[in-house]
Amino acid sequence: WATFLDDIRAIEELKRQRNAIILAHNYQTPEIFHCVADIRGDSLALAREAQEASADVIVMAGVHFMAETAKMLNPDSTVLIPDMRAGCSLADSITAADVRLLRERHPGVPVVTYVNTSAEVKAESDICCTSGNAKRVVESLGTDRVIMIPDEFLARNIEAETGIQMITWPGHCEVHERFTPQEITRMREDNPGVVVLAHPECPPEVVAVSDFSGSTAMMSDYVQAHDGGKVLLVTECSMSDNLALLHPKIDFVRPCNMCPHMKRITLSGLRHALETMTHEVTIDPALAARGRRAVERMLAI
């Protein structure tokens, strides 16, 4: 406890000294999410808040692509990530050359890229999306076919919702791909009346046996509006931990799967990042400008 409190006090003091803010994704552990974060949310909210931020320093309590997106949208701020190894299996699944090849194979078909990608991949895209706005983004294009990369399951789930044909890429989230429909059905039997909310990075068969599918912010909103009963969040473990502290009347049914990348961010790591101003996330300005177009086009919808 002493170290824990010492880190929290030091982080608060360093934030003041550096004119810094901490942006925390919903998958951060409760001591980060509830004790030191200034802004909390899903990928979409963090991108919007990064764009608006007037702080000199933005510390990303999240994964590398989120820090890159923040830097793209707020190039004058110093953007830090406590651990450069905080990656993402989706971002690692595709390169800029892969996107160019897809365009060659499907000329004229728009490329919608999930924000869980590198700056290089965003720079090759027409528009970005998050799990919170994917349906709206795809529908805004007015085409009957879309190249939707790199999350195959997100693309298939949006295809089912919109009827728009998706050209996909075999990228998966290593956390959500592990859920199975059998697991969900078993938990329903063990927990009569449970409401099942699945993240759209889950396989379509999992979404099919759930009551609702949406981003982490949409899950929070649902829980906020229904203060009681049993809820199963088919997503990363910290999501339920964070919401359980805010909603003691809700019985959160586990299990969950852990994201090893999100868990590289720790309280002591955040303190060290602010003490040493490491690790700074930088992007070549010309590349950043190309990627920003796709992200800003998304934010304008």
Annotated binding site for [4Fe-4S] cluster: 88, 173, 259
Of the listed pieces 139-147, 171-179, 269-277, 293-301, which binds ligand SF4 according to CB under 6 A?
171-179
Q: Is 116 in the site for ligand 13P (CB under 6 A)?
A: yes
C-alpha Rg value of the chain to the nearest Å: 19
d(CA 52, CA 46): 10
Of the listed pieces 32-40, 126-134, 135-143, 179-187, which binds ligand 13P according to CB under 6 A?
126-134
Cα angle, residue 15 at apex, residues 9 and 16 outer, rounded to 5°: 95
Of the listed pieces 41-49, 51-59, 78-86, 187-195, which binds ligand 13P according to CB under 6 A?
41-49
Q: Is 93 in the site for ligand 13P (CB under 6 A)?
A: no
d(CA 165, CA 145): 5
Q: Is 26 in the site for ligand 13P (CB under 6 A)?
A: yes
Of the listed pieces 40-48, 53-61, 154-162, 247-255, which binds ligand 13P according to CB under 6 A?
40-48
d(CA 202, CA 51): 29
| Binds 130: which of ligand 13P, ligand SF4, none (CB < 5-8 Å by kind) | ligand 13P
Residues 34 to 93 in contact with ligand SF4, rule: CB under 6 A: 63, 88-90
Q: How far is the CB of 173 from ligand SF4 (least distance, A)?
A: 3
Q: How far is the CB of 105 from ligand 13P (least distance, A)?
A: 28
Q: What are phi and psi of 47, to 5 degrees?
A: -65, -45
d(CA 301, CA 299): 5
Q: Is 15 in the site for ligand SF4 (CB under 6 A)?
A: no
Q: How far is the CB of 15 from ligand SF4 (least distance, A)?
A: 24
Q: What are phi and psi of 231, to 5 degrees?
A: -130, 135
Tokens of 49: 């808040």
| List of residues 6+ apart from 70 with CB closer than 8 A | 23, 46, 47, 50, 58, 60, 77, 79, 281
Of the listed pieces 14-22, 42-50, 69-77, 246-254, which binds ligand 13P according to CB under 6 A?
42-50
d(CA 61, CA 191): 33
Tell me the number of residues near ligand SF4 by CB under 6 A: 13
Q: How far is the CB of 101 from ligand 13P (least distance, A)?
A: 25
Tell me the number of residues near ligand 13P by CB under 6 A: 13
53 half-sphere exposure, CB direction, 13 A CA radius: 30
Residues 210 to 229 in contact with ligand 13P, rule: CB under 6 A: 215-216
Give which of 200, 239, 199, 243 is closest to 225, Cα–Cα: 243
| Binds 261: which of ligand 13P, ligand SF4, none (CB < 5-8 Å by kind) | ligand SF4
28 half-sphere exposure, CB direction, 13 A CA radius: 30
Q: How many helices (H) and strands (E) does the chain have?
A: 14, 12
- The contact set with ligand SF4 (CB under 6 A) reads 63, 88-90, 116, 173-175, 201, 236, 259, 261-262
Residues that bind ligand 13P (CB under 6 A): 26, 42-44, 88, 116, 130-132, 173, 201, 215-216
